[in-house]
Copies of this chain bind each other. A is one copy, B any other.
Amino acid sequence: MEHVSLDPDRLFPAEQRTRAVARELFALVEGVPIISPHGHVDPRILLDDVPYSDPATLLVSSDHYVTRLLHADGVPLDKLLGADPRDVWQLFCERWHLFAGTASGFWLRETLASVFGVDATPTPELYDVLAGKLAEPAFRPRALFDSFGIGVLATTDDPLDDLAPHVALLDDAGFGGRVIPTFRPDAYLDPAAPGWQARMQRLGASTYDGYIEAIEGRRAYFIARGAVSADHGVAHAVTVDLDRGDAVALFDRAMTGRATPAEAAAFRAHMLVESARMSVDDGLVMTVHAGVLRNHHTATRDAFGTDTGHDIPVATSFTENLRPLLQRFGTSEGFHLILFAVDESVWSRELAPLAGFYPSVYVGAPWWFLDAPDAILRFRAATTETAGFYRGSGFIDDTRAFMSIAARHATARRLDSGYLARLVVEGRLGMPEAERIAVDLVGDIPRRAFKL
């Protein structure tokens, strides 16, 4: 991978002594293999190892963090999704200033510089330069997997996925990387999700017991193919511990389409507790991503599908919502529950206090909009004083933008180095402690949290 003239001290605090300490700490972790225990990369790109088609599709159209801001500036989504890549690139270049100061802008610049060796404002002329590079072998996914130094990469998968790409990659003597699936059952746990009944049919579930057994069976299938975690995305992390009779009755009502919205919500809340019970039994780490109203603009969802930039956070709470689940499983041996939020007010208020008591609870890394330089520092400041460093999940990139993975992890490592450096210079941490923590943050801590 080429390197160009980006500021070697970027993201480090300005103050000179702190910066010097940050530099030392970053040097310890810069080259450590990347653990990416939660993300949305399609495993087929690694299986097929096909060259990327063009820079616009790769860096703009396929990244809804990027199309989002172009749309906000007035570009209709049909000029970005399915349009001519050169036109897309042109629109993007004209609006590069929109990305100044944003996390997406920083990653784009990092990626252009560290992957493509281009430290410059994107221009129309750059299109052909980047397209040329993408045609080179070094820019194919497997080569990047190696040059990024990815140790583990988790994907996110439908419970009924056969995981063929994962198995094929495992069997592929030409690929040495570790690519593991993640069990993502949301659409199977929520009777109000469109298509739930059809999904039950595909699952072969006609009774509550059969349903539970089928879910357990699919989890076992995932575990056998390397999965270490089950991921749950919810608007609100409400949990309800129903007794069996009530659960059976609600399931039956849902199967015949008679469940009211409140009953569907109760069943979904029950299934979050039931998922925890399964995790206690089978050992899958349970991750919960909470607090997002998906598809805020229905017309856009209808025209362009989901993940088109209008999933918007809402106020989040865990203390009361998760209590039924934690009453039952909070201290269960081996249970891991990693909580992610996009409402930063819960960091100091709820996440760190919960993780500072329950052996099962881990503070999830800053997620989504909060996976950004200043937000990452706010996260550390908000959670460390209550929960320390060792009750966290380690960094997760949560991305479908494979090309940006190295940039994202490097960003997080620089910021953690800067945060630790501040504690050292403020006399709150000895340098040997800071060094150990810096290294643990990219190794032992995520490995322990995700049972890797």
Contact = CB atoms under 8 A, between A and B. Distances in A.
A103 B385 contact: yes
A427 interface: yes
A297 B427 contact: no
Contact of A98 (B293, B370, B375, B388): B388
A68 to B, nearest CB: 5
Interface residues on A, range: 35 or more
A315 B313 contact: no
A421 to B, nearest CB: 9
A15 B352 CA distance: 29
A6 interface: yes
Interface string A405-445: 00000000000000000110111110001001100000000
Given A14-B18, A297-B327, A323-B296, A429 B373 contact: no
Contacts of A297: 326-327, 330-331, 357-358
A303 to B, nearest CB: 10
A293 B313 contact: no
Interface in A360-382: 361, 369-370, 372-375, 378, 381-382
B11 A14 contact: no
Given A330-B297, A331-B300, A423-B101, A359 B73 contact: yes
B312 A315 contact: no
A352 B354 CA distance: 27
Contacts of A388: 69, 98-102, 105
A215 interface: no
Given A72-B391, A103-B386, A327-B299, A426 B355 contact: no
B314 A350 contact: yes
A423 B373 CA distance: 10
A314 B428 contact: no
Contact of A356 (B69, B314, B422): B69
A385 B357 contact: no
Contact of A72 (B344, B358, B375): B358
A206 interface: no
Contacts of A18: 14
A102 B69 contact: no
A156 interface: no
B11 A428 contact: yes
Nearest to A418: B426
A147 interface: no
A313 B317 CA distance: 10
B312 A354 contact: yes
A282 interface: no
B357 A71 contact: yes
A385 B6 CA distance: 19
Nearest to A96: B433
A429 B100 contact: yes
Interface string A328-364: 0011000000000011110011101111111101000
A101 B314 CA distance: 30
Interface in A10-35: 10-15, 17-18
Candidate in A320, A357, A429, A436 with the most chain B CB atoms within 10 angstroms:
A357
A197 interface: no
Given A98-B388, A103-B385, 14 more contacts: A10-B426, A72-B361, A73-B390, A100-B433, A100-B437, A102-B386, A298-B327, A313-B350, A315-B345, A343-B349, A345-B345, A348-B370, A353-B369, A372-B385
A-B pairs, 7 with minimum CB distance: A10-B427, A7-B427, A372-B385, A101-B384, A374-B381, A14-B15, A345-B345
